[in-house]
Chains A and B, each alone.
Chain A
Amino acid sequence: MKFNQYTIHELQDKLAAREISAVELTEAVFARIAEVDDQVNAYITLNKDEALVQAAAADKLLEQKKGGPLCGIPLAIKDVMCTRGLRTTAGSKILESFIPPYDATVIEKLREAGAVICGKVSMDEFAMGSSNENCAYGVPHNPWNLDYICGGSSGGSAAAVAADECIASLGSDTGGSIRQPGSHCSVVGLKPTYGRVSRFGLLAYASSLDQIGPLTKDVRDCALLLKVISGYDRQDSTSVAQPVPDYLSALEPGLDGLKIGIPREYFAEGLDPEVNEAILTGIAELRGAGAETVEVSLPHTDYGVAAYYIIAPAEAGSNLSRYDGVRFGYRDKEADSLLEMYEKTRSQGFGDEVKRRIMIGTYALSSGYYDAYYKKASQVRTLIVEDYQKVFSQCDILVSPVSPMPAWRLGEKTDDPLSMYLADALTIPANLAGIPALSVPCGFSSAGMPIGLQIQAGHFNEEKLLKAAFNLESALEVKGQKPKL
């Protein structure tokens, strides 16, 4: 095996034992990027020179038996988190030249833990999309089959992890943007509880739904990375001052006493039969590990997409008003008046999907429509929250598919925004309720495309997710399978 193919926890041992150096490891990652990224197109911006400096500094610490849990580990960062001095585009032309003057809190935490930052990876523009085809810097391709989408919006993160172009990655999830690409690329992806991880320095899409989380090669790495990035941050007033548990200690074999809810609405009409079969196999394995299962109902699941496509665009319309050509990013220099400058800058700088969502949000909040749309959607959100509250009195976790279908072909849904929105039906409810949810690889379709299993739990119950996912991963023979590139 090549160095870049290992997990974080395997590399921690090899680096500590000085079997390899952080510089060699980082060079192996960049060699892999040079080998495959012209096909995969996961990266928007490479940070090679700086990464090698960080790796050399990590080696010094490792020599002295010092250094944090990620010392010398090469990571890829979704291009929506501010990295001081390193261009951050959000996949948008409007931020083509934006060099953040500060680090997002998660980036600061990665640096403190000794991580090496290899570069910024692709995403749907401002995290709006489910296929990563809305990106001003080219579309990433699924490493399992280059004719297929890798999912979105954190598509570059999932593709880079799956193709071993980094050891692990951070993504962000507003309606499934970590879990869905994780599922389509056969990597582990976790959306933590809302408030678990600071959003300071994350370019905002929908502030009441956005959450940063890890995409990794296995469940242990997921627990490890989650521990590093979690915790209260005074810079984010919505981050929660709850102690960060040692997530790694949750990874014990055996699920005796765990009650798994199978939500019937997640297995409704329209679910791909191969996905259904893979998830049922996964559920059987979880039972084999000692868990008990019970059928449950979340009756408002079917309304999640409709509520989301009011709430998220309404918040986005407001959040994206800052991109006006004045303080950062692109500006149309031909305009004569301020108003014309705003309109031309935004129309030329934003892509179609971003404009579409800004318009939906603006419409929903405009005079006379507020009650019919935003208030209504927020009330339906309450019904979804209450569904979860009821269900978590009957079981500990929920198990379901992540996506109703495996990855589709590039271009297949680009002309039909609504069908793309509906692909997120099973991931959106967790964001509306702020609960943690995880995608773990569970098998492959007959066409060889990955299928992920989703686990959801109540607020701040990440340990339950990780424990169940760890047991499933141990029972299946999916982990370690690599795409042929």
Chain B
Amino acid sequence: MSITADEVRQVARLARLDVLEKELESITEQLDRILGYIDKLNELETDGIKPTTHAVEMENAFRDDETRPSLSQQEALANGPEQNGEAFVVPKVI
């Protein structure tokens, strides 16, 4: 196994996902199979090869710090599952 049930639990926690114990085995098995396939990458020697993160070359896109029209507070809040007209409301944090 390249990934264990404990690691899946840990990854789910990092990703803010709640994995049910009864699903754990099948998820671990699926991820293991996928990661097993991905191990294929190790057939290739890549020492010293520069990683590509963007395929089309681009420069930093600087712009002037100018004020432009943006969403109103009301528009920005409109999709909130819970809001009080001024802010998004969430369960108590502290």
Number of B residues with CB within 8 Å of any CB on chain A: 51
Query: Chain A nearest CB: distance from B49 CB in Å?
Result: 4
Contact B40 A375 (CB under 8 A): no
Interface centre among B42, B43, B58, B81 (most CB of A within 10 A): B81
Where chain B touches its partner, the secondary structure class is: loop
Chain B 9-21, CB within 8 Å of chain A: the 1/0 string?
0111011111100
Q: A194-B55, A382-B51 are in contact. Are A328 and B44 (CB under 8 A)?
A: no
Is A248 part of the contact surface with B, judged by Cβ < 8 Å?
no
Smallest CB gap from B72: residue in A: A101
Q: CA of A346 to CA of B3 in the docked complex: distance in angstroms?
A: 22
Q: Are B51 and A101 in contact (CB under 8 A)?
A: no
Q: Which residues of chain A have C-beta atoms less than 8 A from B39's C-beta? A: 306
Contact B79 A194 (CB under 8 A): no
Question: Is the CB of B8 closer than 8 A to any CB of chain A?
Answer: yes
Supposing A329-B79, A359-B27, A382-B51 touch, asked if A338 and B93 sit within 8 A by C-beta, the answer is yes
Name A208's closest neighbour in chain B (CB-CB).
B54
Chain A interface: which size bin?
A: 35 or more
A138 → chain B, closest Cβ, in Å? 23
Judged by a CB distance under 8 angstroms, whether B67 is at the interface is no
**A355 near B17 (CB under 8 angstroms)?**
yes
Given contacts A306-B38, A338-B92, A382-B49, contact A356 B30 (CB under 8 A): yes
A378 at the binding interface (Cβ < 8 Å): yes
Q: B31 at the A/B interface (Cβ < 8 Å)?
A: yes
Question: Most B CB atoms within 10 A — which of A324, A338, A379?
Answer: A379
- Choose the segment among A68-76, A112-120, A155-163, A232-240 that binds chain B (4+ C-beta atoms closer than 8 Å): A232-240
**Is the contact region of chain A dominated by helix, strand, or loop, or is it mixed?**
helix
Binds B, one of A265-273, A360-368, A442-450: A360-368
CA A396 to CA B46, docked complex, whole Å: 28
Report yes or no: A359 in contact with B31, Cβ–Cβ below 8 A. yes
B56 at interface, CB cutoff 8 A: yes
A98 with B38: in contact, given A240-B58, A356-B30, A434-B54 (CB under 8 Å)? no
Q: How far is the CB of A356 from the nearest CB of chain B, in Å? A: 7
Residues of A within 8 A of B78 (CB): 99, 101
What's the Cα separation between A212 and B33 when bound, in Å? Answer: 31
Can you name the residue of chain A whose Cβ is closest to the Cβ of B77?
A327
Contact of A383 among B40, B42, B44 (CB under 8 A): B44
Inter-chain contact B80/A101, CB cutoff 8 Å: no
Verify A360–B46 contact, CB threshold 8 A: no
B51 near A378: Cβ-Cβ < 8 Å = yes
User: A328 near B55 (CB under 8 angstroms)?
Assistant: no
Given the interface pairs A380-B46, A382-B49, A383-B49, the reply to whether A194 lies near B56 with Cβ below 8 Å is: yes
A181 at the interface (CB under 8 A from B): no
Assembled-state Cα–Cα distance A385/B41 (Å): 15
Q: Which residues of A contact B1 (CB under 8 A)?
A: none
Scan residues 58-91 of chain B and give those whose CB is less than 8 A from a CB of chain A. Answer: 58, 61, 63, 71, 75-76, 78-82, 88, 90-91
Cα distance A418–B32 in the bound complex, in angstroms: 11
Contact among A305, A346, A377, A418 with B33 in the assembled complex (CB-CB below 8 Å):
A418
Please tell me if the beta carbons of A335 and B27 are within 8 angstroms of each other in the complex.
no
Please give 7 more A-B residue pairs, beta carbons under 8 A apart, in addition to A317-B15, A328-B80.
A99-B79, A303-B43, A346-B17, A359-B8, A359-B12, A359-B15, A418-B37
Using a CB–CB cutoff of 8 Å, the interface residues on chain A facing chain B are 97-99, 101-102, 193-195, 208, 234, 237-238, 240, 300, 303, 305-307, 309-310, 317, 321, 324-331, 333, 335-344, 346-347, 350, 355-356, 358-360, 362-363, 366, 373, 375-383, 385, 417-418, 421, 432-435, 459
**What are 8 A-B contacts defined by CB distance under 8 Å?**
A237-B61, A306-B38, A347-B19, A363-B31, A377-B38, A378-B53, A418-B34, A421-B34
